[in-house]
Structure 1
Amino acid sequence: MQVGVDYFIEKLHSEHQTSRFSMGPDESLRPLKSFIQNNALAFQTSNVAVTYAAIVPPADPNDPQAKKRIIAYVTLTCSEIDLDGAYPLEDCEAANRYQSISALKVARLATHRDYAGHQIGKTLMEFAIALAVHQVAQFVGCRFLVTDSKANSVGFYQNKLGFTLLDTEENRNREHPVMFLDLNKLDLNAPPADVLDEPEGSTQEAEPA
């Protein structure tokens, strides 16, 4: 599936159909389903976290009651990361004395089970990276994009997106290990994503903070 053709990315709003978002029978994924169905819009209205949805248009665009269907989503929030000395900032040594460094966090990432395997989650993450680089980090202090990965999703973040696993014994043993992307190590001259048209998916999920 191709973003901009088969599906589109928009900031979550009331015109989106959230009630039919399904993650399948896996009990561990139910919080992701529950969040988009019951809490995401309230979190956004309250400025706690913002959700971007990959949507497909309604079957009948002339039906005023029809809503756009959500096939994947990513939720972002302000955060920080304790590097615990495992990743010193060589370009700003004075910052290393602080316990935590500023970050944008991917709090949730989920794809509808009917759309798994179409790289929609990866596209949403690429959107989040572009948003962090070209919008957030350009106006406020924000060095990293971080997430608490499911153990079986570590390879996805490392191999597909270039994230680094925080290399401490405590983190390696966590159920949801912290992973990070150093925004200063990315190519800032790369074309920015169309943020106003808003984000893009995969079968990977990241649990919230």
Structure 2
Amino acid sequence: MNTAIVRRTRKRLEGHSRDMNEFLVNESLDEQLDGYNTTFLAKNDNGLILAYMSLCTDAIRLNHAERNNGQIGYETFPSLKIARLAVHKDYQRIGLGKNMIKYAVHKSLQLLEDFCGVKFLTLDCFPHRLGYYVETIGFVQNQESSEDLISLRLNIDEYLDRLV
């Protein structure tokens, strides 16, 4: 691979990491206090933040075919959105991201039991993370996405069936 391309890719990825760090340090508490999302931290015994995830409500629109050719009467489905998910660079590839997603599923089941319907987890990911979310976790790409971010959904029932 061309060295210049590798350098540009690495720089872009480092920029994403800086954005995620800045969100946690400078924005997450304000956004939580303003009611936009709630941020959950995974820490080790020494208090080091190993991972974090911000959750908020969402709704997604499915087309006719995605609704079993109209057999499902709803067009818009209640969802829980993973607004941010980051794992400390020194603790990646040990399952923390998967565990954070399991925790989001757990929170969605709590909502379903205690308060309101939730059918999907949603998130917007950068193209370089698409393989992880689709192939590893089982997310599906939504019809509407931008060039920079790809909109994904995970059917909670199907996800739970795969875990068994």
Normalising to structure 1: TM-score of the pair?
A: 0.63
For residue 64 of structure 1, what is the aligned residue in structure 2?
none
State the shift of 1:28 in Å: 2.5
Q: Name the counterpart of 1:31.
A: 19
Structure with greater helix percent: 2
Q: Name 2:99's counterpart in structure 1.
A: 123
Deviation at 1:119, TM superposition (A): 1.9
Q: Number of paired residues?
A: 150
User: Counterpart of 2:111?
Assistant: 136
Q: 1:29 to 1:83 in 2, by over 3 A?
A: farther
Asked if 2 retains the 8 angstrom alpha-carbon contact of 1:89 and 1:95, the reply is no
Choose from 75, 78, 93 the match for 2:54.
75
Q: Letter of the aligned partner of 2:37 in structure 1?
A: A
CA distance in 2, matches of 1:90, 1:84: 8
The corresponding residue for 2:4 is none
Q: Distance in 2 between matches of 1:125 and 1:89?
A: 26
Tell me which amino acid in the other structure corresponds to 1:33. Answer: N
Tell me, in whole angstroms, the C-alpha distance in 1 between the residues paired with 2:67 and 2:57.
21
Q: Partner of 2:122 in structure 1?
A: 146
- 1:87 match: secondary structure: helix
8 Å Cα contact 2:122-2:154 kept in structure 1: yes
Residue 78 of structure 2 aligns with which residue?
102
**CA distance in structure 1 between the aligned counterparts of 2:157 and 2:95, rounded to whole angstroms:** 25
Residue deviations 1:110-129 (CA, integer Å, cap 9, x gap):
11122222221121112112
Partner of 1:201: none
If asked which structure has higher relative contact order (CA below 8 Å, sep 6+), I would say 1
Structure 1: give runs of 5+ residues left out of the alignment: 1-24, 59-67, 192-209
Q: Scaled by the length of structure 2, what TM-score is found? A: 0.79
Of 130, 133, 157, the match for 1:184: 157
Amino acid at match of 2:20: L
RMSD over equivalenced CA pairs, Å: 2.4
| Distance across 2 between alignment mates of 1:160 and 1:129 | 16
Q: What is the CA–CA distance in structure 1 between the aligned matches of 2:26 and 2:99, rounded to whole Å?
A: 24
Which amino acid in 1 is paired with 2:122?
V
SS at 2:101's partner residue?
helix
User: Partners of 1:43 and 1:92 in 2: how far apart?
Assistant: 38
Tell me the secondary structure at the aligned position of residue 94 of structure 1: coil
Distance 1:186 1:28, change over 3 A: closer
Identity of aligned residues (%): 25
Q: Which amino acid aligns with 1:152?
A: H
Aligned to 1:118, what secondary structure does the other structure show? coil
